[in-house]
């Protein structure tokens, strides 16, 4: 019983995931600021940065550390309901919670849509996306309308809600969210993650060694290359 209730410091968030998280946060804030103030060249540069980051996260969601993989936080509706009723499985408190997972997927989906529409948008003054000449005028008009109106404000609202949710969990529920996203480690109850700590094997931890970090660097370089190529299409 003592062994079951003991806790162990476990690497949950690998370094590539942590760097992605903070880089995306600052880039999105920068996009909002530059967009609202009409600083379009920096808006485009930050947009290409977010494109590279999103491409990397999509790939890292399949080959990254255990708790960064999409498979680790795709929850069935029953799991979400159980979490809301306070009956969640211990595994759900290691990485993303069921509600946190929904937030992650919502943010990723919205940012992908916002970046895609930005690449096809044209304000007919001085700023046009690199893909405008490859799509129809109707698509350009639709993308521009979404990007400058609904999409922009939904991003602002979603980012605000995300910050408020983090503050709620930190200040009210006393959950440590910011610290682990800086250090990568959480205190995990031994026996969680389907009793994967048995026989002394810390299977619950995410791989975060030199090899995985090198892989992440190579993958991000490739994603940045794709973003750079997309940027080069702008005339």
The model's pLDDT over 14-60, given as tens digits with 9 standing for 90+, comes to: 999 999 999 999 999 999 999 999 899 999 999 999 999 999 999 99
Distance from the first to the final alpha carbon of the chain: 67
The per-residue pLDDT of the chain, averaged, comes to 86
Q: Which residue has the tokens 């930005």?
A: 118
Output the six-digit token pair for 174: 């006393």
Task: From residue 104, give the alpha-carbon distance in Å to each of 20, 98, 100, 132.
Answer: 13, 10, 6, 29
Range scoring the smallest mean pLDDT among 64-78, 92-106, 114-128: 92-106
pLDDT tens digits along 124-147: 776 889 999 999 999 999 999 999
Nearest to 27 by CA among 95, 94, 118: 118
Tell me the β-bridge partners of 9.
Answer: 187
CB 233 within 8 A of CB 227: no
Residues 6+ apart with CB under 8 A from 139: 120
How large a percentage of the chain has pLDDT more than 90?
57
Contacts of 183 (CB under 8 A, 6+ apart): none
Under 8 Å between Cβ of 121 and 128: yes
Place of tokens 């003592």: 2
If pLDDT is split at 50, 70 and 90, which confidence band does 222 have? very high
Angstrom distances, CA of residue 130 to CA of 42, 64, 211, 231: 15, 30, 35, 6
Among 211, 111, 99, smallest CA distance to 152 is for 111
The pLDDT score that the predictor gives to residue 48 is 98
More confident of the two residues 151 and 123: 151
For residue 13, pLDDT over 80 is answered with: yes
Three-class SS of residue 78? helix
């Amino acid at each position: 019983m003592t062994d079951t209730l003991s806790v162990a410091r476990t690497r949950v968030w690998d370094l590539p995931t942590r760097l992605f998280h903070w880089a995306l946060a600052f880039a999105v804030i920068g996009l909002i600021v530059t967009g609202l103030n009409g600083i379009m060249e920096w808006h485009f540069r930050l947009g290409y940065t977010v494109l590279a980051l999103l491409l990397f996260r999509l790939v890292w969601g399949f080959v990254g550390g255990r708790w960064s993989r999409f498979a680790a936080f795709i929850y069935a509706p029953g799991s979400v309901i159980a979490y809301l009723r306070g009956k969640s499985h211990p595994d759900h408190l290691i990485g993303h919670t069921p509600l946190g997972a929904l937030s992650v997927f919502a943010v990723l989906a919205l940012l992908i849509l916002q970046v895609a529409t930005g690449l096809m948008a044209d304000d007919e003054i001085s700023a046009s996306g690199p893909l405008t000449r490859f799509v129809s005028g109707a698509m350009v008009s639709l993308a521009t309308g979404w990007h400058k109106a609904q999409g922009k404000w939904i991003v602002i609202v979603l980012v605000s809600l995300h910050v408020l949710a983090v503050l709620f969990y930190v200040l009210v529920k006393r959950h440590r969210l910011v610290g682990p996203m800086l250090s990568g480690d959480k205190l995990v109850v031994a026996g969680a993650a389907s009793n994967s700590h048995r026989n002394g094997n810390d299977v619950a931890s995410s791989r975060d060694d030199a090899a995985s970090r090198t892989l992440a660097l190579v993958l991000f370089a490739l994603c940045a290359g794709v973003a750079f190529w997309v940027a080069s299409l702008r005339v």
